[in-house]
Amino acid sequence: MKSWGSNSNPTPCSSGGRYASVADAAAQQNTEAVIEMLSQGHRADIQDSDGNTALHYAAWFRLDSLLTPLLEKRARPDIPNNSGECAVHWAAKSSNVMALDAMTRVNRALLSMRDCDGFTAFIVSAQTDNCPVMEWMYLKGVSLEEQDDQGRTALQWACHKGNKKTVQWLLSRSASIVHRDREGMTALHWAAMQGHTIITEMLMEVGAVDLLDVPDCSGETPIELAMRKNKRTLVMAFHKCQIFKLLFGRPHLFQNNYASLFLGFVAFNIILFAFVVAPGIAARNPEAVMTWSILMGLSLLLWVQCLYSDPGWLQPRTINSQSHLMGKDPAKTFDVEQPIESQMAHCDNVLQKLISTCDGEAPQLMKLELEQNKYNYQRQLLREARKRLEEGCGLGDPRSPALGESQPLIAAGFNDAGSRQAQLDRATVTLHERERAAGDSLGRARVEHLLAQGGGEYLSFVEKGDFKQVCVICRTVREFRSHHVKEQGRCVHRMDHYCPWIDNSVGLGNQRSFFVFVTLMFATVLYFYYTVFLYFFDTVFPEISRGSFSELLQSVTSGSLGAEVQPAPS
């Protein structure tokens, strides 16, 4: 039997050498050494020079065979390294769902462990564009609105990083576009500042056009931020969205510019034919005028049919408008002096409005989401109170008299620093217990809601981490030849391609109509050239033969279109 000792100068790179700790053996991915050292009584929680434990490396390198032995030896997944990251963070970074499940099965609240910057595994996954792992954590009860120490959510980080797929997933789960961080910036502010045009379009589709004139704490709106960063194209797009919202009630007529360009070309051809070509050939070739008019009319009808047809959606649309979160004036939902309390009050107003519109009872899932979001804000209040206490500024009253009891976990009266610290500790423990209970309830409610929609097979794939078989945005199992259309945020059965000219996907549901449209449009174009050929033979060439055309051309080139003026006889 090999002996894995703990001398002060180990040689971890040698298979027959000695390791200083279980963590060093795991860092070299030597599973045999780790298991042998655990059997000899070595501590499973010992940290290396970087503060990492064996669980960190088992999660990062996907050493799944080490998870059970380490956890049986009471290895703790909540031990932070020198950067404040615990093993749960590393498992999320490596998309190791098996490790996440094993380490948090007893206590799902470990999924919300924070590093030195307040980043949770959920926020880290948003920063790395890892929405499949975020879906797994979402079904375990993790809040969509988890905030780091600066009050930034996963949606804000995804918009800042330009992670389009994660932004689309978060919007499909109704992550709030109204939330503000400590600087008063929304997700739209961050996307505009970084110049992420596609992400701003996603946000506009769900109602962020109403936030274009909302300033942050420094008084800058998303339009002003884009202008300051010299994103002039984005500024023009913002103003266009505002105009379209005013005229048509929506920020876009089409999801791309090609459909508008198609309509422009069609309008130009119709005007050219109606006022130039048709008058010149109608006398001799009336059937040509009638034929082209019928072809163009049928082409436009088929274009409209393809535009609004169902290409074969696998699931109903999951990305919906968030206009109900805006309020009458979105700028008034945030108070610079009380940023946390004002947003908590807005959440309460949204819940009350939801109850009033649902005959006195809001959906249970929505109530749990808003309750969990309130705990996120209460955590920020506790952090602010602890920060003031550490700075020696006094704890003050963390409750807002104007907004009512926004932090019910802390009493108003304090005598000395010791009692204040004890009060904060008790409030923190109470909040963690409530967050854990709310997360468990929310996770069960989300799973039950998914099962009620017939998502049992989808759920089994997500639980196993087999994300290649599913689409986490549409919440559906991938069928043969089905694909997710990022332009529309939905999966299409037997998808062929996304056609920007019809602003729609081409799939099983509209392949035939699309083929007929393309064929008929091609015939319309060819027949238009035929009518132009007739126009030249019926109008242009006869004018040339009579000389009138040359006279007109000579007059134009000489700069005179009238008869020469002669002096009057005396």
Q: Contact, 35 vs 70, CB < 8 A?
A: no
pLDDT exceeds cutoff 90 at 539:
no
pLDDT exceeds cutoff 80 at 391:
no
pLDDT exceeds cutoff 90 at 570:
no
DSSP string, 347-403: HHHHHHHHHHHTTT---HHHHHHHHHHHHHHHHHHHHHHHHHHHTTS-----SBTTT
pLDDT exceeds cutoff 80 at 9:
no
Q: Give kind and range of the element (H or E) at residue 307.
A: helix 286-308
pLDDT class of 196 with cuts at 50, 70, 90 = very high
Q: What per-residue confidence (pLDDT) applies to 561?
A: 43
Higher pLDDT, 349 or 197: 197
Q: What per-residue confidence (pLDDT) applies to 280?
A: 87
For domain 1-106, give the CATH superfamily.
Ankyrin repeat-containing domain (1.25.40.20)
Helices (H), 465-540: 511-535
Q: What is the rounded average pLDDT of the residues 29-50?
A: 92
pLDDT digits (tens, 9 = 90+) for 177-195: 999 999 999 999 999 999 9
Percent over 90 (pLDDT), the chain: 67
Percent over 70 (pLDDT), the chain: 86
Q: What is the rounded average pLDDT of the residues 223-249?
A: 93
Q: What per-residue confidence (pLDDT) applies to 542?
A: 74
- For 552, what's the count of Cα atoms within 13 Å in the CB-facing half-sphere? 8
pLDDT exceeds cutoff 50 at 458:
yes
User: Which among 424, 406, 405 has a CA at the least distance from the CA of 414?
Assistant: 424
Kindly report the pTM of this predicted structure.
0.86
pLDDT exceeds cutoff 60 at 402:
no
Q: What is the rounded average pLDDT of the residues 217-241?
A: 94
Q: What is the rounded average pLDDT of the residues 283-311?
A: 94
pLDDT digits (tens, 9 = 90+) for 245-293: 999 989 988 888 899 999 999 999 999 999 999 998 988 899 999 999 9
Q: Contact, 142 vs 150, CB < 8 A?
A: no
CA 230 to chain centre: 24
pLDDT class of 408 with cuts at 50, 70, 90 = low
Q: What is the rounded average pLDDT of the residues 92-112?
A: 94
User: Which among 238, 222, 202 has a CA at the least distance from the CA of 331?
Assistant: 222
What is the Cα–Cα distance from 238 to 183, expressed in whole angstroms?
22
What is the Cα–Cα distance from 549 to 462, expressed in whole angstroms?
75
pLDDT digits (tens, 9 = 90+) for 125-152: 999 999 999 999 999 999 999 999 999 9
What is the Cα–Cα distance from 319 to 174, expressed in whole angstroms?
7
What is the Cα–Cα distance from 530 to 124, expressed in whole angstroms?
62
> Among 233-242, 406-415, 432-441, which stretch is predicted with the lowest mean pLDDT?
406-415
pLDDT digits (tens, 9 = 90+) for 353-367: 777 776 555 578 888
Kindly report the average pLDDT of the chain as a whole number.
86
Q: What per-residue confidence (pLDDT) applies to 346?
A: 84
What is the Cα–Cα distance from 476 to 467, expressed in whole angstroms?
11
pLDDT class of 566 with cuts at 50, 70, 90 = low
Q: What per-residue confidence (pLDDT) applies to 14?
A: 40
pLDDT exceeds cutoff 60 at 562:
no
Q: What per-residue confidence (pLDDT) applies to 384?
A: 87
Q: Contact, 382 vs 407, CB < 8 A?
A: yes
Higher pLDDT, 12 or 519: 519
